[in-house]
A and B are shown apart, each in its own frame.
Chain A
Amino acid sequence: MSTTTLFLLTIGLGLASFVYGRSRAYAIAKGNGGVKTLHSLPSHYGMMVALWCALPALAVIIGWKLLEPSLISNMLDTAIPQTVLDGGEKAVELYKNDIGNIVDSDKLSAVTDAEKKIAAERLTNLRSTSSLALFVLALVVAIIGAVIALKKIHPQTRARHKVERIVNFFLVSCASLAILTTVGIVFSVLFESARFFQQVGFLDFIFGTKWSPQTAIRADQVGASGSFGAVPLFLGTLLISFIAMLVAVPFGLMSAIYLAEYASRRVRNIAKPLLEILAGIPTVVYGFFAALTVAPALRRLGESIGLSVSSESALAAGAVMGIMIIPFVSSLSDDVITAVPQAMRDGSFGLGATKSETVRKVVIPAALPGIVGGVLLAVSRAIGETMIVVMAAGLAANMTANPLEAVTTVTVQIVTLLTGDQEFDSAKTLAAFALGLMLFVVTLCLNVIALHVVRKYREQYE
C-alpha cells in the first residue's frame, strides 16, 4: 500500500465521516424538534467528525513517514555482516545504500552474494511490515476518532466552536511556519558550521587569506590550517556586488526618476511592464548570457585595445548582475519617489525651480532614506545572487580589485563545495555551511536595516 493511496484513503474516510456526521446531526435534530434546537449547524457537526477522524490519522502517517527511514535503517543493522560493521560507519552507510538500491530496482533475484541477499530480504520484510503496520494504525486511529466524535453529536455540543478552534489553530501554525523556516535555516547552518569550526578555527576562517578547499579533502589533511581562509571570497563577493551596484543604482534610479517625474502616461504604461520582464527573467538565463555573450565580448573588446581580460572576469558577472538588479532598484525607488508629497514639489516650483532642480534638490533628498533602504535590499540581493556568478565568475580565489581578473564569491564556493559527491562530514562540505552562515547573517542584517528604514520612511509620509 503506497503512502499516496493511504493518504487519499484517509481523506476519503474524512469526507465519508463528514457526510455521516451531518446526517446524524439532522436525525438527532428531527427527534428534538428541528435544526434550530441544535447549538450549531449540522454541517458543523459533520466537520467536527471529519476533523476528529482525519487529523489524527494524517498526523500518524506523516510522523511515521518522517521517522521510518532512520528506524528501518537501524533495524537493518542485525542483517549486516560483521565484516562490514567492523569497517566503520561509512562502510555500513555504503552497504546499506547498496542494499537499498537492490531492493528499489527489484533485482533481488540477480544478487549472488548470499549475505547481501539476506540483508535485502530483511529490508523488504521490514518495509512491508512497516507499511502494513502504518496502514492498520492509521485506520484504527481514524475510526476511533470518528466514533468518539459521533458520540459527541447532541444538541448541546458546541460543534462550531470546536471546529473553529481547530481551524484557528491551523491558521496560527501556518502563520508561524515563517518563524519555523527561519529557525530551521538558522539551526541547519549553525549546527554544521559549529562542526566546521571544530576542525578549522573561526578566526582562520574569517581572516585567513588563502582559500583552497581541495587540498583538505585527504583525510590526513583535514583541517589543514590556512586553506579555509575566506577573505578572498568576501572580497570577490564585494567586488562583483560593487560592480553590479555601479550599474544598477544609476540606471535604476534614473529610470525611476524619469518614469515618476517626466514620463507621460503612455511611456510609463509601456516602459514599466518591460522593466518587469527584465525582473522576471530567471537568473540562470542571465548567467548564460553573461558567460556566453558578455564575457567573450568583453574579452574581444579588451584584446582590441590591448588589455588582457579574463574569460571569467568580475566585470562581466558584475555588469550582468547589475542589469538584473536595475528593475529591482527602479521599482523600489519609484515607490518612494511617488510617495514624496506633491506639496513639496509645488513649494519648489513656486520658488521658480526647474523640474530637474526640484527633483535633485527637493524630491531626492526627501526620498533619500527610502532610496537608501532600497539600495541596501539590492546589495543584499547582489551578495546572495548565485547563478550568474556560478556560471560567469571563476573558481579562482584571487585577492584582487581588478575587475578584469577572475574572482570567486561566497555563493560560487557554496555551490562548488556541495555539488558532486562528497561525504557529508568532510571539512570541505561543512565549509559550505559556514559560508552559508556568513551569507545569511550579512544579508539578514542588510534586510533588517533596509526594511526598517523603508518602513520608517513610509510612516513619515502616510
Chain B
Amino acid sequence: MNTLAASDILNKPTDKVTSVPDTAQEAFDKLTETVGTPTVENPKMQTRNVNVFYGEKQAIFDVDLDIGQNEVIAMIGPSGCGKSTFLRCLNRMNDTIPTCRVTGQMSLDGEDLYGADLDPVLLRARVGMVFQKPNPFAKSIYDNVAYGPRIHGLASNRAELDDIVVDSLRKAGLYDEVKDRIDAPGTSLSGGQQQRLCIARTIAVSPEVILMDEPCSALDPIATARIEELIDELRENFAIAIVTHSMQQAARVSQRTAYFHLGKLVEVDDTNAVFTNPQHELTENYITGRFG
C-alpha cells in the first residue's frame, strides 16, 4: 500500500490518492456539500463557509458545522485532513501562526469569533482547549490549575481560588490522587494524570466550550478510558469538540461525528448513524478501514 505523508496530501488536494478507490475519489472531487446534518437547533457555536489557508496552501474548504449545547462532537478523518486545523480556529489558536488566514463566519452564541468586538483573550477564556500532548506548566499542581483564574482575575481572594482549584481537580477526577501533594510539580505526574491536570486547568476558567485535540493519543489504554469517562461527565456542563484518531473513541464518547477528508467536511451526523450507516463512500471506506 502506498502511503503518503500528511503534507503531500495537503499540498495536492486534487491529486489522486492511490489508496482511495477511484469511485470514492471521484465522489470526493464532486463533493461540494456536506452529507448529513451539519446544523443543530440552538447551537453553541456555528461555522459557515470556513476556509483556512497556510500561506498559499488551502487547508480547509468551505466547512459548515454547528456545535450544540451540552453535546460531544467528534471529528475524525485521516491524518492531515484538517480536523485539528479546524479545531484550532474555534478559539483562534491559529492567530499565533503568522501565515495562517481564516475566511468565513464563525460564531459563539451568535457573536462573530473574528469580529472586532470579540477579544481573543476573552474568547479563549470561554472556549478552552486541551492539547494532544499533556503540557503542564513548570509549576506546582495547584499553580497549574490556578493559572487561568489568576490571569483572568476570577477569584477575589485566596479561599475562593482554593475552592476553584479543588473543585476543578475534583471535576477532572484527579483530586483524590493529588490532594496530598498539591504543591508537587505538575510534571511529576504520570501522563494520564498530566492530561487530567490539563483538563482541570481548562475547566478552572469555567469555559462554555472545551476543544480537545487528540487528548488521548499520548496515553495508555487505562488512562484513555479514564479520560473518556471524564469527557462523558463533563458533557453536563460544557459543549465539547474532540478531534480523535480512534474511531472507537469517537463512537464511545460522542453524540455526533464529523468526518473530514483532505480539508473538506464530508459527512456529519449522529454518531450512531455515521458508524452504522455512512452515507458517503469516503466515510464508509474510512470506517471500514480501507484507508486512513
Contacts and interface: CB of A to CB of B under 8 A. Distances in A.
Nearest to A360: B151
Interface stretch (B56-64, B104-112, B132-140, B264-272): B132-140
A362 interface: yes
Contacts of B123: 352
B135 A346 contact: yes
Given A346-B93, A357-B151, A361-B151, A351 B201 contact: yes
Interface string A336-364: 00000101111111111110010001100
Contact of A350 (B131, B150, B151): B131
A34 interface: no
A341 B148 CA distance: 19
A350 B138 CA distance: 16
B135 A341 contact: yes
Nearest to A355: B96
Interface string B123-157: 11100111101011111000000011011100000
B121 A354 contact: yes
Contacts of A361: 137, 147, 150-151
A349 B124 CA distance: 8
A365 interface: yes
Contact of A351 (B133, B139, B202): B202
B205 interface: yes
A366 interface: yes
Contact of B137 (A348, A352, A354): A348
B268 to A, nearest CB: 24
B91 interface: yes
Contacts of B139: 365
B122 interface: yes
Contacts of A357: 151
Given A346-B131, A349-B124, A352-B122, A365 B201 contact: no
A447 B133 CA distance: 35
A368 B137 CA distance: 13
B145 to A, nearest CB: 10
A361 B147 CA distance: 8
B55 to A, nearest CB: 14
A319 to B, nearest CB: 33
A456 to B, nearest CB: 13
B240 interface: no
A365 B137 CA distance: 9
Nearest to A368: B138
Contacts of B96: 345-346, 349
A365 B136 CA distance: 12
A352 B131 contact: no
Contacts of B113: none
A344 B137 contact: yes
B164 to A, nearest CB: 13
Contacts of A344: 135, 137-138
Contacts of A341: 135
Given A352-B125, A354-B121, A343 B151 contact: no
A351 B123 CA distance: 9
Nearest to B202: A351
Contacts of A365: 137-139
Contacts of B274: none
Contacts of B135: 341, 343-344, 346-347
Contacts of B93: 346, 349-350
Interface in B24-55: none
B113 to A, nearest CB: 14
Contacts of B150: 361
A352 B138 contact: no
A345 B131 CA distance: 11
A368 B133 CA distance: 22
A350 B87 CA distance: 12
A351 B151 contact: yes
Contact of A347 (B121, B152, B198): B198
A343 B133 contact: yes
Given A346-B93, A365-B138, A366-B138, A352 B133 contact: no
Contacts of A354: 121, 151
Contact of B128 (A346, A350, A368): A350
Contact of B151 (A345, A346, A352, A366): A352
Most interface-central of A344, A346, A347 (chain B CB within 10 A): A347
B223 to A, nearest CB: 18
B8 to A, nearest CB: 24
Contacts of B138: 344, 362, 365-366, 368
A280 to B, nearest CB: 31
Nearest to B119: A352
Contacts of A368: 138
B131 A351 contact: no
Interface of B: 91, 93, 96, 120-125, 128-131, 133, 135-139, 147-148, 150-152, 198, 201-202, 205
Given A352-B121, A352-B148, 20 more contacts: A346-B131, A346-B135, A347-B131, A347-B201, A348-B147, A349-B93, A349-B124, A350-B128, A350-B129, A351-B147, A351-B151, A352-B120, A352-B123, A352-B124, A357-B151, A361-B147, A361-B150, A365-B139, A366-B137, A368-B138
Interface of A: 341, 343-354, 357, 361-362, 365-366, 368
Give 7 closest A-B pairs by Cβ, nearest first. Answer: A352-B124, A350-B129, A352-B125, A366-B138, A343-B135, A347-B135, A351-B148
22 contacts: A341-B135, A344-B138, A345-B96, A346-B93, A347-B131, A347-B137, A347-B198, A349-B93, A350-B128, A351-B151, A351-B202, A351-B205, A352-B121, A352-B122, A352-B124, A352-B151, A352-B152, A353-B121, A361-B147, A361-B150, A365-B138, A365-B139
